[in-house]
Amino acid sequence: MATRLTIRLDFELGRRLGAGKVALLESIDKTGSISAAGRAHQMSYRRAWLLVDELNQLFATPVVAAHHGGARGGGAALTDQGRRIVALYRDAEAKMRAAAQGEIEAIERALAAAGATGP
């Protein structure tokens, strides 16, 4: 498996956006469901819903629109803002990886062999 580079943005007042929240948004976009997205990330519906609520409050406009149940059940979808935030985050991640590629490769070369014991 290739080395992954992830970023976390720490904003004022303890607000954060990182790989886990972005992955949850991508899962909501894929599944159309907060519940299904939570399951995909081994978290309870409540935890997923709390993260979505946190994300919706983090930005000036909501990133997820939830639709309450009815005859066909509920669901959720990313808003235009949500899709934009995911794209911006992934673009920043790709640019950072490209900028640090040489350093990442040097660190990888310095890693101990898998399963090797230390001194």
| Residue-wise pLDDT tens digits, 54-88 | 999 999 999 999 887 655 567 999 999 999 999 99
Domain boundaries, the chain: 18-100
Write the DSSP assignment of 7-68 as a string of letters. Answer: -EEE-GGG-EEEHHHHHHHHHHHHHS-HHHHHHHTT--HHHHHHHHHHHHHHSSS-SEEEE-
CATH 1.10.490.20 fits 18-100, yes or no: no
Confidence (pTM)? 0.86
In this predicted structure, the answer to whether residue 48 has a pLDDT above a threshold of 60 is: yes
Distance in angstroms (rounded) separating the CA atoms of residues 51 and 34: 10
- Give percent of the chain with pLDDT exceeding 70: 90
Distance in angstroms (rounded) separating the CA atoms of residues 79 and 42: 24
Structure token pair of residue 92? 């920043």
Distance in angstroms (rounded) separating the CA atoms of residues 14 and 36: 28
In this predicted structure, the answer to whether residue 115 has a pLDDT above a threshold of 70 is: no
